[in-house]
Structure formats: C-alpha cells, structure tokens
Structure 1
Amino acid sequence: MALKEQLQTAMKDAMRAKDKARLGVLRMILADIKRVEVDERIELDDARVLAVLDKMQKQRRDSFEQFEAAGRQDLADTEKAELEVIAQFLPAALSESELNELIDSALAATGAASMADMGKVMGVLKPQVQGRADMGQVSQQVKARLG
C-alpha cells in the first residue's frame, strides 16, 4: 500500500476511534501533502511523501527543542506527540554502521576526493537515507571524510 494511502487509512481509523489528537496530526500531514500536490500540480509518489514527512519531523524536532529551552513544557509535549505520530510513517532509522556503509559506497561510486565533490556525494546519498537519518548529520560525516 502506498504511503499516502496508509496515511488516509490511519486517518479514517483515528476518526472511528475518536482519537482527536492523532486525527489532528494526520489531517495536518495530509494537508501538507495536498498543498505540495496543488502547488506543483503533480501526484506525489512515496519518495516525495517521505520527503514531506521528513521535513515535518525536522520542524517538530526544532520546535520541541526551542519550547523546552524556553520552559514551555505544554507546547513541547504537543510537539513531541506530533513527532511520535509522524515517526510511525517513516522507515526505521539507519544504524551507525549502515550509514557508514552507505557513505563509503557513495564516496566510491562518485570518486569523491575533495570538498568540491560534496554535492555529488550528497546527491547519491539523499534518496537512500531520506527519512531514515538526519541529513545534517549525514552532511557533517561526509564533510569529515572529505576534509
């Protein structure tokens, strides 16, 4: 089943269960997907839906950290609950060793030797790790190996 269909099914299940918190998050996800589809006039495939979910997860994580730093635990708890729902639809996170293997293979495939080749390496890695690893951390690891 496509990821978008899974989200719609989960939304219907949340409606039946009268789970308002989960329903709200699922509606927010589907609205964001629909916004991208309307803006770009395309039907999103699983890879693009994953990219939308990944972006939403990053936004929630940043908001959570900011709310916690500001002492707004009520808002931080809301963000954390949204993060948990979003995470259910993302693939399992990569382990450190799996990520290192992917970086090694991307470096070998592109023949990267310096920081000038960073874009080529990230272009190869991004589709493989999207939604499974934080792209900021992946970028830092690639920089460390190229630098």
Structure 2
Amino acid sequence: MSLLERLNQDMKQAMKNKDKEKLSVIRMVKASLQNEAIKQNKNELSEEEELTVLSRELKQRKDSLQEFENADRSDLVDKVQAEIVIVNEYMPEQLSEEEVLDIVKETISETGATSKAEMGKVMAAIMPKVKGKADGSMINKLVLQQLS
C-alpha cells in the first residue's frame, strides 16, 4: 500500500472517529505530498520522494517545537508534540544509535576521511543510506565524534 493510499484510509478513519487533530495533520501531510508531485510535474511520487517530504514535515514540526519551548508556549508545545507523534506513524522504523554508529564507521572507512575538514564528504555519503531512518543531528554528532 502506498503512502497516499494509507493516508486516505487513515483520513477516512479519523473522520469516522471525529479525531480532528489527526485529520488535520493527515491533510497537511497529504497536501505536502501533492504539492511536491505538482512541483515535480509528476502524477505520483516515488517512495524515496515521499520519504523526503515526510522527513521535511517532521523536521518542520521539531523546529517549531523547539521555538515554542523557547518561547514558553506550553499550549503550542502540546499541539506540536501530538503532531510529531502522528507524522512519526508514517515514517519508516528508526535506526538505533548503535546501528547508525556502525554505518558512520563503515562510511568513514569507505571515504577514507581522517579529519573534521572531510565531514561534508562523509555526510554526503551517509545521508542516502539512512534517509528517513535516522535523525540528521544524531548522524552529525556521531560523525564529529568519529573524526575527532
């Protein structure tokens, strides 16, 4: 089942359950997917492109969460946290820190990187391997630890 089909199915269920919050998030994600397809002049996005859009939606919400926490807006923090939980349902299973560390070590040896100056090369090689399965900031931190 494609992501769009799953979103449609969950949207119908959210309507039946009168779950306005989930319905709202699903509609936003669906709209983002459809906008991306229009932007790329495609009828349907590939699985990888869908994952990119989902990751972007999740990152936006995490950034918003950080801003709301800094502004001490607990009402908005709760709302965004609930949205993050809903978006996470559609993301692939996340890799553990140990699994990411193994990928980081493997990629560093593949690229032959030895210093922090070569971090960009390592990150460029890692990101396609873990797309949507690991948080970029965690990867960044692990690469820095390994190269220092």
TM-score (norm 1): 0.88
> For the structure 1 residues 119 and 73, does the alpha-carbon distance in structure 2 shift closer, same or farther, using more than 3 Å as the test?
same
1:59 matched to which residue of 2?
Answer: 60
**For 2:50, what is the secondary structure of its paired residue?**
helix
Partner residue, 2:21: 21
* Per-residue Cα deviation, 1:19-41 (whole angstroms, up to 9, x for no partner): 11111100000001111111121
Task: Write out per-residue CA displacement over residues 112-135 of structure 1, whole angstroms, 9 at most, x where no aligned residue.
Answer: 334454333223311222222211
- CA shift, 1:100, in A, is 0.7
Moved more, 83-92 or 116-125: 116-125
Report what 2:114 is aligned to. 113
Alpha-carbon RMSD: 1.8
Aligned to 2:95: 94
CA separation of 1:124 and 1:3: change in aligned 2, threshold 3 A = farther
Alignment partner of 1:93: what SS? coil
2:8 partner amino acid: Q
SS for the counterpart of 2:6 is helix
Give the Cα separation in 1 of the matches to 2:17 and 2:146.
Answer: 49
Q: Deviations over 1:44-85 (max 9, x none)?
A: 111111111111111111211221221211111111111110
Q: Distance in 1 between matches of 2:120 and 2:40?
A: 25
5+ long unaligned stretches in structure 2: none
Comparing 8-17 with 55-64, which one deviates more in the overlay?
Answer: 8-17
- The answer as to whether partners of 2:105 and 2:146 remain within 8 angstroms in 1 is no
How many residues of Structure 1 are paired with residues of Structure 2 in the alignment? Answer: 147
Corresponding residue of 1:39: 39
Greater shift in the superposed pair: 116-125 or 53-62: 116-125
Question: Displacement, 1:7?
Answer: 1.8
CA distance in 2, matches of 1:2, 1:118: 35
